[in-house]
Chain A
Amino acid sequence: MQLAWSLDGLIAALFAVFGLGMIVTRQMLGVLQLFILHSLALAASALVLAVALGSPHLGWVAFITLTTKVIAVPLVLRWAAGSEIYERREVDQVLTIPISVLVAAGLALIAWVVAGPLVNAIHDRPFAAINVPTGLMSLLFGAFTVSVRREGVAQLMGLLIMESGAFFASIVLIHDLSVIVEVAAAIDVPIAVLVIGLLIRNINRVTGMTRVGLLAELRERR
């Protein structure tokens, strides 16, 4: 149990570091690779918990995460958005990277503080103290990424790590979500990636760029 606790803590640390990396990486391919690692960390945590708590359902969660997020999402995105978007890099940023990184540290602190009373209220879920704050942290990192980055792929990855964060927090809490629901929630991710990828492709076709943060035509003009 002690080993499982340490391992889970380790995986949570990697989860946080990969999320941080996604905020600072400029290249879209790098963001995608970090997302794959991030999802691998989620699957690994589910596996560790499956073994430690003796819950086969969590083993299924790990397997489903692996197939949808690690394998299906990059393939679907590549097909939908076209492979040349991976050569994009974000040249100008809304916030400079050191400031983004410090804001991320602040968000991590907020996640810790908010998750405190929540974790205290949760009884008989041994790993909640590790996973719930880390999941909340990933949620905040993802929201920050969507707000701050200009490139379409980076914003999409931000959305996906928000969902990963929500799942990371919930795998310690819910041990019996029926497999059908789990599969449905998992299939929802590649569908979303497909649609958003096609949207990016169309934005690229019509406006000639994928820096969706710069689209600002619609507003009230005086």
Chain B
Amino acid sequence: MVLALILLVPLAASLLALGNHRVAPWITLVATLIVLLLSGRAIWAVVDAGTVSALGGVLTLDPLAALYLGLVAFVGFTAALYSVGYLAARRAGQTEGDSTPRYRQYHPLFNVFLASMLAVPLAANLAVVWIAIELTTIFSAFLVAYEDSAEALEAAWKYVALTSMGAMIALLGVLLLYFGITNAGQAPTWAGLGLAAPGMAPAILVTSFVLWLVGFGAKAGLVPMHTWLPDAHSQAPASICAVLSGVETSGALYMLLRIYPSLSANPGIVNPQGWYLVVGLVTVATASLLILQVQDFKRLFAYSTIEHMGIVLAACGLGAGAHDLGATYQFFAHALTKSFCFYAAGLAVIVLGTQRIDVAGGLMKRSPLAGWSLLLGGIAIAGAPPFALFVSEFEILRTGFTAHQYLATGLLTVFIVLAFIAVMYQLGQVVFGETTDAAAAPVSPLPLTCRAALLIAAVPVLVFGVYLPPRLGELIRAAAMLMGGAP
């Protein structure tokens, strides 16, 4: 029942938000709060009972899905809170001659977008999961194109075209897998996949996997299908960027993580870890190198998303032991940290009036809150202690070295360090230094809701590096076991 409500509440909110656009932000806020509470309840139930299902098996939730659900709900809530103030500030800040933003469509689309993302972990049938993923792309198209400028529309087009292309490729993979599972007499769900995988003909499983890798990889921003990501994640308004970077790409990555244990379980498939490792390393390498020459700090965070997706994949591929806690914790921490980073970036955009690194500068002087949050966000996403990403990356590297994968882990370390340096250098230019005249605009006070969202989002970022609540730790451990690692 709870699971069904999680889906129904945002849909209802979307309809209500269509009615009255003045009240819409608050409706969205209330809806996302309800969803967060309901998800919390569902996750509690999963930690106790292992797997929860509703509506006669149409909706299910197991630990990995519960983890992702929690992330979606939390990021959705903070984004809804943030967008209340952010959109108003952007509207006030538009000068004459700028294009008209699509204010009225924002909240209905946001709710429906959130509902489709919530459906990804909840749906039991694989084909329905695919439909949910395709719908997340479709509903976020006009959210990305919010600014209504030529660049925003270009970003939206590239986003929709490339991710839909990926989704169609993945469709064939999903249908092939569906066939393989039902042929083995299992139900077409994740559990069924796990049961059917050992006996499935390797050709079917391999073809499905390659199609998934290309298809869902395009949506997750894996190289070389990543070209849409920096554009879409920099042109969208900051709250949407947070949701896209934080949880939507993680959703595609979630699919790739879920197929991994099936590949390992099938004896006919040779070295699935190799695939994950190579793709992950190439992605991390490309992203780190690209961060060096980025010129826009929201694009910086977008490339950082690509890098972290690569790290999670490489962690999976680093063999026995590396992927159980490291990858899951990285997946978890990245969503929370990246959304925080984008909230900070949004505040920086409000204060500085520009996204470009060479034009911006002196953020700390103009607004200490924005400056400190951007700096902290940068440090956190680059993987420095005492933040959560440091713990997960350290765990990954440690288990990589103990598994004797020296070359791969060494390369991974090099690229992570490279990205760290690049992020710090670029953000330093924005945060410190003097303001240039071009960006000199009167400093309006930062919206209250934005600051509140920032603070709420900061809590997990600051806390989870040092202390993990036991229930949450149990959940992460259970999720990791589902990915096929040793306890």
A–B proximity contact (CB within 8 A):
yes
Interface of A toward B, CB cutoff 8 Å: 114, 117-118, 120-122, 135-136, 139, 142-143, 146, 152, 155, 158-159, 162-163, 165-167, 169-170, 173-174, 176-178, 181, 184-185, 188, 191-192, 195-196, 198-199, 202-203, 206-207, 212, 215-218, 220-222
- Residues of chain B lying within 8 A (CB to CB) of residue A117: 203
Which of B138, B139, B142, B157 is within 8 Å of A212, CB to CB?
Answer: B157
| B480 sits at the interface (CB 8 A) | no
| B95 sits at the interface (CB 8 A) | no
Not counting A159-B165, A203-B154, A203-B157, a sample of 6 additional A-B residue pairs whose C-beta atoms are within 8 angstroms of each other reads: A169-B176, A170-B172, A181-B125, A199-B145, A215-B157, A218-B230
Given A135-B172, A181-B128, A218-B235, the answer on whether A188 and B135 have CB atoms closer than 8 Å is yes
Interface of B toward A, CB cutoff 8 Å: 99, 125, 127-128, 130-131, 134-135, 138-139, 141-142, 145, 148-151, 153-158, 160-161, 164-165, 168-169, 171-172, 175-176, 178-179, 182, 201-204, 207, 230-231, 234-235, 290, 293-295, 299
Q: Is the CB of B156 within 8 A of A163?
A: no
Q: Is the CB of B154 within 8 A of A162?
A: no
- Residues of chain A lying within 8 A (CB to CB) of residue B179: 122, 170, 173-174
10 A–B pairs (Cβ distance < 8 Å), ordered by A: A121-B202, A139-B168, A142-B165, A170-B179, A184-B128, A218-B231, A218-B234, A218-B235, A220-B294, A222-B293
Tell me the nearest residue of chain A to B179, going by C-beta: A173
Interface centre among B148, B157, B230, B234 (most CB of A within 10 A): B157
Q: Is the CB of B293 within 8 A of A220?
A: yes
Tell me the nearest residue of chain A to B231, going by C-beta: A218
Identify whether the interface residues of A are mostly helix, strand, loop, or mixed: helix
Which of A136, A159, A185, A196 is within 8 Å of B172, CB to CB?
Answer: A136
Given A174-B182, A176-B182, A207-B150, the answer on whether A199 and B160 have CB atoms closer than 8 Å is yes
Q: Is the CB of B295 within 8 A of A195?
A: no
Which of A143, A195, A221 is within 8 Å of B138, CB to CB?
Answer: A195
Identify whether the interface residues of B are mostly helix, strand, loop, or mixed: helix
Nearest 9 A/B pairs, CB to CB: A162-B168, A121-B203, A170-B175, A121-B201, A215-B154, A173-B179, A166-B172, A166-B171, A218-B231
- Residues of chain B lying within 8 A (CB to CB) of residue A199: 141-142, 145, 153, 156-157, 160
Tell me the nearest residue of chain B to A161, going by C-beta: B168
Tell me the nearest residue of chain B to A170, going by C-beta: B175
Given A199-B141, A206-B99, A220-B294, the answer on whether A177 and B168 have CB atoms closer than 8 Å is no
Question: Closest approach, in angstroms, between the C-beta of B209 and any C-beta of chain A?
Answer: 12
Q: Complex: how many Å from CA A173 to CA B164?
A: 23
Question: Closest approach, in angstroms, between the C-beta of A74 and any C-beta of chain B?
Answer: 19
Which of B131, B157, B169 is within 8 Å of A185, CB to CB?
Answer: B131
Tell me the nearest residue of chain B to A216, going by C-beta: B154
